[in-house]
Amino acid sequence: MSGHSKWATTKHKKAGIDAKRGKLFAKLIKNIEVAARTGGGDPAGNPTLYDAIQKAKKSSVPNDNIERARKRGGGEEAGGADWQTITYEGYGPNGVAVLIECLTDNRNRAAGEVRVAMTRNGGNMADPGSVSYLFHRKGVVMLEKNGLSEDDVLMAVLEAGAEEVSDLGDSFEVISDPSDLIAVRSALQSAGIDYDSAESGFQPSVSVAVDAEGARKVLKLVDALEDSDDVQNVYTNVDLSDEVLAELGEE
């Protein structure tokens, strides 16, 4: 999984300068609105909202947009859609498992767009439960290295409940139980360590190794799914080796 995280991290940096920036902003704003609606509009009393705002700021979303989304979600301003969370399951090229989280105000549109992206890119939809058992929900904190060693990060988060620290090249990924996510993020803050994002996501329990050609197909499918405004997150159990990542990085 760390291979896919490495690729996602690299891609995220590129997204800041290409046409996908607008889509990224829209998804981050949606997260803020939903977090405020679910747990209240005060970030101090709503850790999920706090983390959604932090991630948006790190991705250079303008403060005005962040504040408007927070107010819409918290009921301080009119507007905002009735967002629903839907999860779809499927298989991509090479039998790779795919879990797709949507945040949408139109279930039919979301289902249609997911299905089209899957079928056009070598994927198949699967029945509910047939793929999700291969994943576990985890707390995930991403941070830039900024001269830190793996031990520096580990020392800061170990007692807070962190299970694993992975080296992703330019950054670290800290995995924990979702219930320990706030404690892990707070431990980093207490140690004076800046982080990029802290959120709950899915990690695979079994991964599928692919060669460079297989990786291209899987990543093309992920890109097609993420292109939908209704798709919030795409998780796969693809395993990309350093050699495969190096080959993809040259393209």
CA angle 73, 74, 80 (to 5 degrees): 25
Q: What pLDDT, on the 0 to 100 scale, is given for residue 244?
A: 85
For 90, the token pair is: 């499927």
Specify whether 16 is located in the same domain as 128: no
Query: Which domain covers residue 107, as residue numbers?
Result: 84-133+205-249
Q: How many domains does the chain have?
A: 3
Indicate the pTM of the whole model. Answer: 0.86
Q: What pLDDT, on the 0 to 100 scale, is given for residue 251?
A: 64
Specify whether 109 is located in the same domain as 220: yes
- Residue 79 counted as domain residue: no
Query: Tens digit of pLDDT per residue, the chain (251 long)?
Result: 455 565 565 555 555 455 567 888 999 999 999 999 999 999 999 999 999 999 999 888 999 999 999 999 998 887 777 889 999 999 999 999 999 999 999 999 999 999 999 999 999 999 999 999 999 999 999 999 999 999 999 999 999 999 999 988 888 999 999 999 999 999 999 999 999 899 999 999 999 999 999 999 999 999 999 999 999 999 999 988 888 888 877 66
Cα 50 to chain centroid, rounded: 16
Residue after which a domain boundary falls, among 204, 220, 238: 204
Specify whether 128 is located in the same domain as 209: yes
Specify whether 89 is located in the same domain as 65: no
Q: How far apart are CA 229 and CA 250, in angstroms?
A: 29
Report helix, strand or coil for 164. strand
- Residue 159 counted as domain residue: yes
Q: How far apart are CA 240 and CA 233, in angstroms?
A: 19
Q: What pLDDT, on the 0 to 100 scale, is given for residue 1?
A: 45
Specify whether 118 is located in the same domain as 179: no
Specify whether 121 is located in the same domain as 233: yes
